Structure 1
């Protein structure tokens, strides 16, 4: 059976818009095409996925069909240059970055290609399609068909949906002008911009992810095809801008979706974003912080310890209690059976003292080897730091990796059977995940219970920009079960003393509007004081150009009024000590 495009052309007479078709999958997938005309617009001459982009300078009148395509040459640098006019033959293929099972969209490309010059003269490159607030639709993506919500067979509607627009431009030159940066430069040489600075803006120049249906389709990733020696990639922070035009072919990858592979890069406009400092607590105020220190171990660079300690002292005003996440064991990423983290914590507390902070003490429980997820061999866990000049910690024996802490009634006061102790470590919900650590503190004669948390990751969820819409978030089930266990623990404390002060803080790996946070707050056991912040300020993590919340501190009714502060010192900056911003709460228990 001969494959035919929407325009009626067969493979023997196809042009690029016929190959691309008006859906996400080519009508010629798996077929051979011959003598397809086009102009080379860009070359990728590095890595394992070398090749070039080709665009037809004579487009059809269907906005749903792309006029561009990527020609995959593997590990061989193609002998073409931008402006070459060629005729090409090859096999049409759909490539799924990251593998088809990852749930991303495919890239239509030509493989096993051969080409010949169609003209000796260099051609002018097709004009880049301008991406701006007027062109990018507000709606993100259509709902898919079938049980899995697959959108591949749906006809593209580029004037209605943002992802349809980008797919209709796949392989074509497109760009943004004077683009605000919403995701800082990464170690991989990429950043995120927005074509619409008025789309859910944050006060500091980012784009807020405030609900599952606020995907912010104007976001676009930018990487560079320019030689790094001559054109270093800009080191940008959120709130900066790429002035002038940034343009290149539109691609798709499994680390964020649609991407402009820039052949023209705008000039960095540094808007000098400042790192924040929180207020110092009053003498009768207790300050509790949570900070994901991102795989901290003695193997980490000394500069990381210095920056973390300087932030704890200078930016967080030396909190009385700190719930730490991602503290690795003493051998760091070496998978040698080590589980103790004394050296890691000693090195951090010494650095804090050197930075002018208090003489913190630490408490934690060593996990079973390689049982809690994270980097293999790293044995990440949660831990407490506390200032003994401000708070007391009632050490009680019995806490270990597998024994569940119990809440007892000590003359009308809640008491932990072990201090610190792990919450329900044997429950299935904590399989290959960090177990929460409960600690009993005393501040000015008042008991305060703090639970340090690091819930399971979002690994395995379908991507926001993938081919299944709406995406399935399978990992939510485990985090919801984890939240129910922490809620149950707090309920037991409150059953002994309904006015008990209980704080659950840490990296919950989920959003304020998620089922996990709903489960945490169920029954009024906890509330989220973050809700008192202006909506645009509720973020402490930046992912794919979206400013969002993963870290929380929720409080029991007995805590009373809380002042909440997310201290922006990391997530918006290309130079990070961690990928998370810390949070601090101040209260008078």
Structure 2
């Protein structure tokens, strides 16, 4: 052992719950005496071969973490083994004992090997004074790991990341101080490849090896969220930002491997996008507005079932949505997740249009009145438009199960699960040409629909969505023959999943993927990106299309900057997190299509 030894009085410290004495660890006072190697404790699997054994280790302190109630140890380089699947580091849990060790100290620790929620650790029973100091080796961790590697082999070890990594998830940033990073943006496998295909399976496998959490030294609420300067509505940490100079110790907690940072990394912020320039004489936008509920429409009946908790939250939500829609200057805007409260003066859609006209001018926008509430779900779709540019031609059509194609199992478009779809024919005032906008919000992946309907790789209710997609294109063909038709909305399916494939077989083109490439996205879920929001065009409509844009004002933004007056985890929200801008007005990005006759 290449260390400087000091002859010091050795002090035995005991955890309050321990009954151990110095006699339980007779070698604890003898620096350089035989000890159990950390790689022998870690083993080459997820579970230590020495669980519940009392051991003595002699190793170097790499990180002191009072906020985690412990510290990390790592073997000296000469005591590393040759097995790449065993870790040379370990966490020492001190419970409520004071932590007296310092980084780079060589210490002897007596404790019990445990698996704490699948993390191998030592529960401290006895600790020597310093046996000297030593430099520890920092291992290189680069992403993605190879198929032969595992994060388990780095558990407890000091690492450095030589790459510049991409921020892919900030959901837990304000709640736990966590940021997920990867080597490039990650995509949902079925957004890029056919479900179940070798390519999709390969992406799924790589995603698990290409993401790790960058964390602070606390498990609870962070003391600060300032990795990129103080987080605020004016200074977001967007996904797509990059981070370099990552150093720390690999830890495992809450089912996630993470790097406990020991140095301040360098962040390069992804800029917020400008308002998109969309080519075309006519523009259609599609926007999931994330539960726009206005209570009773008179300032009361808050909290609402799915949206704002109070009138202040609603007013901020409304302002943000108005400021997201108006810059698009779309002639038709299809909306999802509106409160399903009809179309009267106190309805959510009527008051949205009222707010838009207050900002844009009297009568600039109007909405399609489909009568009473659509179906029985708490949310519904809707359509707003600019009367000076386009005019509705004929009555609005609504697809529910009463109008659906049927088979032996009943209606293909089940409105027990899917929200009724709306379709409106419009005429362009400048040239009298017509087109159809159909807005949809198919069944989500959130709740199960049952065996044979749920899919392991396409999510819950894939069968329900696929049947609905089939019913939808048959109904549109029968109702609007020889018309340019745009299917827009939140279809709750990624680009290569069965519902989108069903519409593609019927002649509809996914415009974002066609014009902008396979990795165009509108939504993020657990650090993976893809599209649930679509603009699909039949052959007649596709010939007219000039451009399609997904405006990334939401999917890349921290959830902490939304309209809610509390943060995830019910933490108090700083006032500077709120503003009326379009950013984080929803969790879905709007999609805009421009076309010309």
TM-score (norm 1): 0.69
Correspondence 1:295-314 to 2 at 5 A: 295-298=291-294, 299=308, 300-314=313-327
> Structure 1 residues 518, 190: CA separation in 2 closer, same or farther (over 3 Å shift)?
same
Q: 2:55 matched to 1:34?
A: yes
Spell out, residue by residue over 1:238-294, the C-alpha distance to the aligned partner (whole angstroms, 9 max, x if none): 44333433433243545xx43222232313333544334232641xx2x22221222
Spell out, residue by residue over 1:387-446, the C-alpha distance to the aligned partner (whole angstroms, 9 max, x if none): 33333446869969xx635289xxxxxxxxxxxxxxx99769665x54142222322352
CA contact (8 A) 1:505 1:554 kept: yes
1:493 aligned to 453, 461, 476, which one? 476
Q: 2:497 matched to 1:514?
A: yes
By how many angstroms is 1:553 displaced? 1.9
CA contact (8 A) 1:363 1:385 kept: no
Correspondence 1:158-197 to 2 at 5 A: 158=149, 164=150, 166-177=151-162, 179-183=164-168, 185-186=170-171, 187-188=174-175, 189-194=177-182, 196=183
Correspondence 1:554-565 to 2 at 5 A: 554-561=536-543, 562=545, 563-565=547-549
CA contact (8 A) 2:444 2:461 kept: yes
Spell out, residue by residue over 1:550-589, the C-alpha distance to the aligned partner (whole angstroms, 9 max, x if none): 2222222232322322122222233522222111122347
Q: Distance in 2 between matches of 1:73 and 1:386?
A: 63
Q: Distance in 2 between matches of 1:309 and 1:190?
A: 31
Spell out, residue by residue over 1:317-361, the C-alpha distance to the aligned partner (whole angstroms, 9 max, x if none): x2222222333468xxxxxxx999954334432332244273232
By how many angstroms is 1:494 displaced? 1.4
Q: Distance in 2 between matches of 1:230 and 1:535?
A: 38
* Residue equivalent to 1:452: 440
Q: Report SS of the residue matched to 1:248.
A: strand
CA contact (8 A) 1:35 1:87 kept: yes
Q: Report SS of the residue matched to 2:152.
A: helix
Correspondence 1:232-381 to 2 at 5 A: 232-234=226-228, 235=231, 236-251=237-252, 253-254=254-255, 257-270=256-269, 272-279=271-278, 281-282=280-281, 285=282, 287-298=283-294, 299=308, 300-314=313-327, 316=328, 318-328=329-339, 342-356=346-360, 358-361=364-367, 363=369, 366=373, 372=377, 379-381=378-380
> Structure 1 residues 178, 442: CA separation in 2 closer, same or farther (over 3 Å shift)?
same
Correspondence 1:500-579 to 2 at 5 A: 500-522=483-505, 524-535=506-517, 538-561=520-543, 562=545, 563-574=547-558, 575=561, 576-579=584-587
CA contact (8 A) 1:456 1:509 kept: yes
1:60 aligned to 81, 98, 112, which one? 81
Q: Report SS of the residue matched to 2:509.
A: coil
* Residue equivalent to 2:579: none
CA contact (8 A) 1:53 1:249 kept: no
> Structure 1 residues 577, 200: CA separation in 2 closer, same or farther (over 3 Å shift)?
closer
Q: Distance in 2 between matches of 1:587 and 1:325?
A: 22
Q: Report SS of the residue matched to 2:277.
A: coil
> Structure 1 residues 275, 78: CA separation in 2 closer, same or farther (over 3 Å shift)?
farther
Q: Distance in 2 between matches of 1:434 and 1:45?
A: 50
* Residue equivalent to 1:412: none
What runs of 5+ residues in structure 1 fail to find an aligned partner? 1-11, 96-106, 142-156, 159-163, 331-337, 373-378, 409-423, 462-470
